[in-house]
Amino acid sequence: MAEWYQVLMAALVGAGVPEWIATAIALLVGVTAIGLVAPLIALILVWLLRKVISRIQDRIGPNRVGRFGLLQTIADIVKLLSKEGINPSRADFMAYNLAPILSVFGVLLLFAVVPVTRGLIGVDINVGVLYIVALGSIGIMAALMAGWGSNNKYALLSGFRVVAQLLSYEIPLVLSMLAVVLYAGTMRFGELAEQQGNFLGLGWYVFLMPGAALIFFVCALAESEQTPFDLLEAESELIAGFHIEYSGMRFAMFFLAQFLGGFVFAWVGAAMFLGGWQGPGVDLPGIGGFLAAGYMMLKTFAIYLLMIWVRGTFPRLRVDQMMSFCWKILVPLTVGLISWQMVVQVLDLPTPVIAVLVLVGNLLVMGIGLYAVGRAIRQEGFRTKRAFTPDSLIGTMQPVAE
């Protein structure tokens, strides 16, 4: 159990509160904090996304409400809340109304295990990494229910894609996280951060396992339904995907879940690969704790900004490209990576040798992966050219000679 909990419990029990009431209060404080802070973070995320994307597209972005448009999101929320919630007459009542709640619920649960600083983790459970992966399935169920319950073809098609995409990308995601777990020998987020504290708090796993980190980032993009993997709501094909029939508050909940989902994956990535709260000076008395929390947030927002950058830069993949990228490139690579790491770690070698061998394996995986992607892009280029340039059509469209 995390330290904040023990401190609070000790204070309450010391003040003469019976133990079970103290437990209840402590748990309530934790739950309320997560439930309040997460939506507030989403306010910043939405503003950040719109500002950065605007800059990438050579626009200014929101700039009317408040300084730098900072209050734009609040205005939008007021608008969304005051909108009419329309119930499609043929929609399935239960599934339709439960889906948005479930999607936010699934994401908020993830915030319970991510670390802020040493001793400030919602619950530092011993299977933290696995917990993150397992609860991703709630999001899948929510999207499925929304897709089915809306009674709309586009929503249903999107529901099918949800399962195909999220279940497929879960495999390389789990395996890339397993690389870190194998090396660290723990699934506890607190300990993962502690183990990356060498070299002045810069012994991050991203330097040791760049391949696993890259694969994690790609899979996190896919799992949190971000561009280039946002096929669930591909506007040009599916109009808006599974939330097409939702309006007002219920739409806002899907929106919230999507933003927080991306953010929580950025957070997990920062905790696993970028050393969590570690950084120069976190062991100083007094300011060390604040410094650590600052590092944690800084790293998380850095990864989130990278996600936004990708979102503003890359076009959306086609659904078959997305699936073959997962099954033909990512899965074999991660399986190879894990097998290599297992062999290296089972051999009785000194630690630096293991580290170097793991690094070599990761670099190899990155090289093969980038080569495979490059080849696929080249082939795709040839194919599109053959199919669509005008001169490739010469000879094919002649009237048949008699």
Q: Check binding of 319 to other proteins (CB under 8 A).
A: no
Q: Check binding of 26 to other proteins (CB under 8 A).
A: no
Q: Check binding of 331 to other proteins (CB under 8 A).
A: no
β-sheet bridge partners, residue 117: 120
Question: For other proteins, which residue of 4, 47, 131, 263 counts as binding (CB under 8 A)?
Answer: 131
Q: Least distance (Å) from other proteins to the CB of residue 223?
A: 12
**Between 170 and 230, CB nearer to other proteins:** 170
- 120 contacts 1 by C-beta, under 8 angstroms: no
- 330 contacts 338 by C-beta, under 8 angstroms: no
**Between 186 and 247, CB nearer to other proteins:** 186
Picking from 6, 254, 63, the residue whose alpha carbon sits closest to that of residue 150 is 254
Tokens of 252: 């806002």
Can you tell me the distance from the alpha carbon of 263 to that of 270, in angstroms, rounded to the nearest whole number?
10
Q: Check binding of 188 to other proteins (CB under 8 A).
A: yes
Q: Check binding of 109 to other proteins (CB under 8 A).
A: no
Q: Check binding of 110 to other proteins (CB under 8 A).
A: no
Q: Least distance (Å) from other proteins to the CB of residue 20?
A: 6
* Binding segment toward other proteins, per CB under 8 A, in 119-127, 211-219, 301-309, 354-362: 119-127
Burial of residue 198, with CB atoms counted within 10 A of its CB: 0-12 exposed, 13-18 middle, 19 or more buried: exposed
Picking from 90, 132, 126, the residue whose alpha carbon sits closest to that of residue 111 is 132
Question: For other proteins, which residue of 56, 65, 141, 305 counts as binding (CB under 8 A)?
Answer: 141
Count the residues of the shown chain that bind other proteins, applying the rule CB under 8 A: 31
**Between 88 and 288, CB nearer to other proteins:** 88
- Would you give the binding string for other proteins spanning residues 71-100, x where CB under 8 A is met? ---------------------x-xx-----
Q: How far apart are the first and last CA of the chain?
A: 84
Question: For other proteins, which residue of 136, 172, 211, 361 counts as binding (CB under 8 A)?
Answer: 136
Buried (b) or exposed (e) across 85-99, using 16+ Cβ within 10 A?
eeebeebeeebbbbb
Q: Check binding of 144 to other proteins (CB under 8 A).
A: yes
Phi, psi of 145 (to 5 degrees): -65, -40
- Would you give the binding string for other proteins spanning residues 224-253, x where CB under 8 A is met? ------------------------------
Q: Check binding of 167 to other proteins (CB under 8 A).
A: yes
* Binding segment toward other proteins, per CB under 8 A, in 39-47, 183-191, 234-242, 310-318: 183-191
Q: Check binding of 135 to other proteins (CB under 8 A).
A: yes
Question: For other proteins, which residue of 163, 297, 354, 355 counts as binding (CB under 8 A)?
Answer: 163
Q: Least distance (Å) from other proteins to the CB of residue 99?
A: 11
Question: For other proteins, which residue of 116, 140, 212, 252 counts as binding (CB under 8 A)?
Answer: 140
**Between 4 and 301, CB nearer to other proteins:** 4
Question: For other proteins, which residue of 6, 137, 198, 384 counts as binding (CB under 8 A)?
Answer: 137
Question: For other proteins, which residue of 26, 42, 104, 125 counts as binding (CB under 8 A)?
Answer: 125
**Between 184 and 296, CB nearer to other proteins:** 184
Q: Check binding of 356 to other proteins (CB under 8 A).
A: no
Question: For other proteins, which residue of 27, 29, 80, 130 counts as binding (CB under 8 A)?
Answer: 130
Interface ranges with other proteins (CB under 8 A): 20, 92, 94-95, 125-127, 130-131, 133-138, 140-141, 144-145, 147-148, 156, 159-160, 163, 167, 170, 185-188
